[in-house]
Structure 1
């Protein structure tokens, strides 16, 4: 059976971030393919035009690398200070979104 391309919804925000749902690939496979090429091009273009990065349904582990790359450094620093104040050992939801201040990337 040949898969059919079906894209029932495509939305474009003012920051040029495109979200497309296609039913011919499993969701995670589709997202992996898009995130590794097209999305980065869109995010780079949006950032160059002064746009900002946000994750409509949360950053978590899946888009953490995008937050680190495109997020506002001041906001990320504030989130890390809050994480450090409430969870310095990184026990709660460990590794998601931001690290405590005393941790370095990859630790």
Structure 2
């Protein structure tokens, strides 16, 4: 399952779930829209991982939890701690990032 944030509360998802993968995106970002269904497919395959989509422009506190210089940026968190991140529109690169924490 993928959760899209409606408020700037990513920190609570990271605290409440063992493994979290975040897609930082924006409404204007074409590559973000391209990656969204791929993220949903990956989320359906990994039930023990929490996937979250955070609008990097609307939610500055959530954005601070990773280094978001380009979109889409994907970040992984394990047991409340930041693990790694990539900026990509390639599914294989995203999958490699996720495999580091599952």
Both proteins in one fold, TM over 0.5: no
TM-score (norm 1): 0.25
- Structure (1/2) with the larger strand percentage: 2
TM-score (norm 2): 0.26
Higher RCO structure (Cα 8 Å, ≥6 apart):
2
Q: Look at both structures and tell me which one has the larger radius of gyration over its CA atoms.
A: 1
